[in-house]
């Protein structure tokens, strides 16, 4: 059993033209023996956002803290602590922080996909 606060995991910073203010961490992955799916935790800074993109694999997301929005078919849907979000494969999506505090969520992906 591995018990770890997400902030203890090694982090990867993402900043660029299509992504801003994002810190990602793999908290449960292949290195832990998790062979079927992988848990990453992301922090979005104030005004931070992930890329708007499409890919074959699904996301299963649960919000831990803060206030964010999910881009779905041209609209932004709000989500805060306790919301869960399923993004099927091949559906365009983007996530942004809509609050003043960090927006923090776990985002799980199936095996066979780059973990982070």
Q: Is 6 helix (H, G, I), strand (E, B) or coil?
A: helix
Nearer to a copy of itself, 14 or 87 (CB): 87
Nearer to a copy of itself, 17 or 86 (CB): 86
- Which tokens go with 44? 């979005």
CA separation for the pair 109, 67 (Å, rounded):
22
Q: What dihedral do alpha carbons 91, 10, 67, 70 form, nearest 10°? A: -10
Rounded to the nearest whole angstrom, what is the least distance from the CB of residue 81 to a copy of itself in the complex?
6
CA angle 98/38/71 to nearest 5° reads 25
Nearer to a copy of itself, 10 or 33 (CB): 33
Q: Which of 91, 83, 37, 35 is nearest to 61 (CA)?
A: 83
Rounded to the nearest whole angstrom, what is the least distance from the CB of residue 17 to a copy of itself in the complex?
24
Binding stretches for a copy of itself (CB under 8 A): 1-7, 27-28, 32-34, 36-37, 39, 41, 58, 60, 62, 64-65, 70, 72-73, 77, 79, 81-88, 91, 93, 104, 106, 108, 110-111
Rounded to the nearest whole angstrom, what is the least distance from the CB of residue 55 to a copy of itself in the complex?
14
Specify which residues 43 forms β-bridges with.
Answer: 23, 104
Nearer to a copy of itself, 10 or 16 (CB): 10
């Amino acid at each position: 059993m591995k018990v770890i606060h997400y902030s203890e995991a090694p982090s990867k910073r993402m900043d660029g033209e299509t992504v801003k203010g994002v810190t990602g961490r793999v908290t449960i992955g292949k290195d832990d023996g998790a062979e079927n799916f992988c848990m990453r935790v992301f922090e979005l800074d104030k005004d931070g956002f992930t890329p708007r993109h499409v890919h074959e694999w699904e996301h299963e997301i649960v919000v831990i803290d803060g206030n964010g929005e999910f881009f779905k078919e041209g609209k932004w849907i709000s989500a805060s602590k306790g919301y869960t979000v399923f993004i099927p494969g091949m559906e365009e999506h983007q996530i942004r922080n809509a609050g003043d505090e960090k927006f923090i969520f776990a985002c799980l992906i199936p095996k066979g996909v780059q973990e982070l």
